[in-house]
Chains A and B, each alone.
Chain A
Amino acid sequence: MIAIEHLAKRFHVVASPAKTGLTGLVKLARRAAPRIVHAVRDVSFEAPDGRITGLLGPNGAGKTTTLRMLAGLITPDAGSLHVDGVDVARAPRDALARMGMLSDARGLYPRLTARENIVYYGRLQGMTRDAANARAEHLAQMFEMGALLDRRTDGFSQGERMKTSLARALVHDPANIVLDEPTNGLDVLATRALRDSLRWLRSPEGGAKCIVFSTHIMQEVERLCDGVVVVSHGRTVARGTVSELLAQTGQADFEEAFVQLAFSADERAHHEAQVDAAVEMVDATTVDGTAA
């Protein structure tokens, strides 16, 4: 179980478009005041065991920052994160041992085989070589990548990379699984295979894992998630099942419901105005084109 309460993080961004050269020096001399970016303002949610919780939000909503804080890579300014009751701030390594994380970056070691990549992480999780090896074979069977296991990962396709990094993240059989935009760059078949694997991991036979899944794709959430947490501008703006959120917004289409939840009325109006302007411009050029 993963519980996050009132999480907040801001970054100091030094505005320096050109770091080198004379302009850079001038800017450095002027000491431009660092801009403060609130990546996460107030995010709270609870992801129970045996359920898939979708973290849904537009790009830049603060999903990745939240998950990085969960991994202990970034220290939050405020709020708390607990994994199976373990405080991430106090015992980050104990928390990490209870999680399998698939981050936004999922680089593999190209000169190692898929098996070596997976076993390496197993060893770093404190497993014996034999246990890690057995687990790698088990996972390879589950993700249908047995043929890949002893090939070097150099030249793997996106789907093959994804499977390898997922197996790597799950090598220590964690009770909590956290995936940051896992379907990015995957084709239909790979996406379906991933969904099937996640459903199985959620089931009691699969270990009734607690699965947190960040995405900006509605269909993923509709098809897969038991609960949805909508994040926008660094805040949790809505929580519930897909049908609950539809009922809350009075919409029949989940995408409409999401837009209504994630964006303010002003933003929606602004966006529509921009679209209208663009359409008018296209119309105008077509008219000109035909006139000339």
Chain B
Amino acid sequence: MKHRNNGGNYKLLAALTVYRKEIVDALRDRRTLLTVLISSVLMGPAVLFAISALVASLESRAEQREVYVVGIENAPSLKNFLERQTAVIKAAPPDYEAQLRKALFTDPVVVIPKDFEAALRRGDAPVVEVVVDSANQRSSAGAGRVERLLQGFARERAALTLALRGVSLDLLEPVRVEDRDLASTQTRATQITGMLPYFVMMAVLYGALNAALDTTAGERERGSLEPLLMNPLERWALVLGKWAAVASVGMLIAVLSSLSFLPGQWLLRSDNLAAMFQYGLREASLFLVVLLPFAAAVSAVLMAVAIRCKSFKEAQASATVVMLGASLLPLVNVFSLGQESAWHVWVPALAQNVLMTHVLKGEALNAVQIAPPLLVCVVLTIAGVWFVARTLRSAAVR
């Protein structure tokens, strides 16, 4: 043909042409793209903000040292003790039980019986209730602090009684228990920030989903696949161009969502959390080392699933299996409570979650850790692209 440049790089040029067209097509799908972009970029800061707000409110409660009591007038000695501990005694609302149940009231309530002082003097061990609703998590979170205060009072009474009788106080404590926490501040922070890798992976998945379905099942549904295959380009070049475009979208989402935690850090309201959550450029780039191959593999797998479907809707249903797998596998890491097995790094989605959790703990990633998931991603990508290229022709005419 007269305009044809038959050079050896025509095949790659064709793949590049397909890539460019798919990218333009994806970028023009403004509404979908904006939804995905906004949710992935805002997600990091939003999650961090929510976590920090929760932690800050728990911390401020701990600092306030407020104790809600019913019947404090029955226990002058306890009142005296609490005041010496610089606790602020407040009267609980009369309908505190109902309020606790409805989570309108978020502090534990101490209930003191009428004959408290008399029973105490007789040595009858009066019962002091700490009322919480375990479904109301904030109230139970404060219970430990209140119980420690009350036990402090009990210990003081016991010590005084024994001292009066000339018994050594050491007898009260035959064994001393001391905590020694080996976790670094960052390791402790992952208990709270552990869900961040999960959110980032979901963003990548949902970012690639739409593009992957549009270039395969969408192309079939529109009836544009058959005419497309009537052009003289190699099928693998066509699929490679399409895959590269989908993977680019997924990778863009990965970059944006990984970087979104950098400014997200400034939003941390809790100083403690800010000190524990170390997320800088180093962590962001390690996240990307893990996420970029993942985006490539996910794109290829989603395309392979969708090419067999005649319509976008059908493809969405089939892709649900992939999405479900990718969202459930990381939970293995959660359920095993940090106990890692060697096989974890060989399972896609789970491996990425494990590695990113390591990054958040402030640990360095070595080649031995990165290699297995990378290998798995490369294999999945090649298998996916191969399958799409193989199925393309029969998919076009069905």
Listed in ascending order, the chain A residues whose CB lies under 8 Å from chain B are 68, 71, 73-74, 92-94, 96-99, 101-112, 116, 120-128, 131-132, 135, 165, 168-169, 172-174
**Complex contact B24–A116 (CB within 8 A):** yes
The interface-forming segment of B176-184, B224-232, B267-275 is: B224-232
CB distance from A178 to the nearest CB of B (A): 9
Top 10 A-B pairs ranked by shortest CB distance? A107-B224, A107-B223, A105-B223, A107-B222, A93-B232, A124-B231, A111-B28, A96-B232, A127-B3, A126-B4
CB distance from A130 to the nearest CB of B (A): 10
**Complex contact B1–A98 (CB within 8 A):** yes
Chief secondary structure at chain B's binding surface = helix
Render B224-256 as a binary contact track against A, CB cut-off 8 A, 1 for contact: 111111111110000000000000000000000
CB distance from A281 to the nearest CB of B (A): 38
CB of B101 within 8 Å of the partner chain: no
CB of B17 within 8 Å of the partner chain: yes
Listed in ascending order, the chain B residues whose CB lies under 8 Å from chain A are 1-6, 10, 13-14, 17-18, 21, 24-25, 28-29, 219, 222-234, 393, 396-397
Residues of A within 8 A of B25 (CB): 109, 111-112
Given contacts A74-B397, A126-B6, contact A105 B224 (CB under 8 A): yes
Smallest CB-CB separation from A70: which chain B residue? B230
**Complex contact B227–A111 (CB within 8 A):** no
Residues of A within 8 A of B396 (CB): 73
**Complex contact B229–A93 (CB within 8 A):** no
Q: A93-B234, A104-B226, A106-B223 are in contact. List 8 more A-B contacts (CB 8 A).
A: A74-B397, A94-B232, A105-B225, A108-B222, A109-B222, A123-B14, A123-B17, A124-B232
Residues of A within 8 A of B224 (CB): 105, 107-109
- Measured CA separation A165–B24 after assembly (Å): 20
CB distance from A212 to the nearest CB of B (A): 14
Given contacts A103-B226, A121-B231, A128-B5, contact A73 B393 (CB under 8 A): yes
**Complex contact B222–A110 (CB within 8 A):** yes
Q: Would you give 23 A-B contacts (Cβ < 8 Å), ordered by A?
A: A71-B230, A97-B1, A103-B227, A105-B223, A105-B224, A106-B227, A107-B227, A109-B21, A109-B224, A111-B25, A112-B24, A116-B24, A124-B231, A125-B4, A125-B231, A126-B1, A126-B4, A126-B13, A126-B14, A126-B232, A135-B3, A165-B227, A169-B227
- Measured CA separation A267–B397 after assembly (Å): 30
Smallest CB-CB separation from A122: which chain B residue? B3
Residues of A within 8 A of B28 (CB): 111-112
**Complex contact B227–A127 (CB within 8 A):** no
**Complex contact B4–A127 (CB within 8 A):** yes
- Measured CA separation A101–B397 after assembly (Å): 14
Residues of A within 8 A of B17 (CB): 120, 123-124
- Measured CA separation A111–B211 after assembly (Å): 13
Smallest CB-CB separation from B229: which chain A residue? A73
**Complex contact A126–B230 (CB within 8 A):** no
Q: Which of A103, A104, A121, A126 contacts B3 (CB 8 A)?
A: A126
CB distance from A69 to the nearest CB of B (A): 10
